[in-house]
Amino acid sequence: KNQVEQSPQSLIILEGKNCTLQCNYTVSPFSNLRWYKQDTGRGPVSLTIMTFSENTKSNGRYTATLDADTKQSSLHITASQLSDSASYICVVSFNTGFQKLVFGTGTRLLVSP
């Protein structure tokens, strides 16, 4: 069964600290992996997209890594800001003639002053 699991479910960190969110997947055949940021009550916004051949991609203070062999990804947030408080969703795409997306349930991050 195609699944995406994220950990932790929720996380509280102090402003200025770093954190890492985890994503494990069992999706096949793999096409790409995406990280989204979703502010409360708003639609998800794309942070990064990585294909099989990419093992790291950055977007400002966000750095995503991908290990296609172990089917794991992480999202590292550097020097966190209050505005980073949001849910972070890992999404894995697989090919069935066209792309289909499998969504994780997200990690809820709270950055505290």
Partner 1 sequence: EAQVTQNPRYLITVTGKKLTVTCSQNMNHEYMSWYRQDPGLGLRQIYYSMNVEVTDKGDVPEGYKVSRKEKRNFPLILESPSPNQTSLYFCASSLSSSRGRTDTQYFGPGTRLTVL
Which chain residues interact with partner 1 by CB under 8 A? 4, 31-32, 34, 41-46, 49, 51, 89, 95, 97-99, 101-106
Residue number with CB closer to partner 1 (68 or 101): 101
Please name the amino acid found at residue 107. Answer: T
Residue 40: burial class (beta carbons within 10 Å; 0-12, 13-18, 19+): exposed
Shortest CB 17 distance to partner 1, Å: 27
Least Å distance, CB 28 to partner 1, is 14
DSSP 28: S
What the block records as the tokens of 53 is 């051949």
- 34 or 80: whose CB is closer to partner 1? 34
Q: How far is the CB of 103 from partner 1 (least distance, A)?
A: 4
Evaluate whether 18 touches 80 at the Cβ level (below 8 Å). yes
| Cβ neighbours, 10 Å, residue 104 | 24
Q: Of 51 and 55, which has the nearer Cβ to partner 1?
A: 51
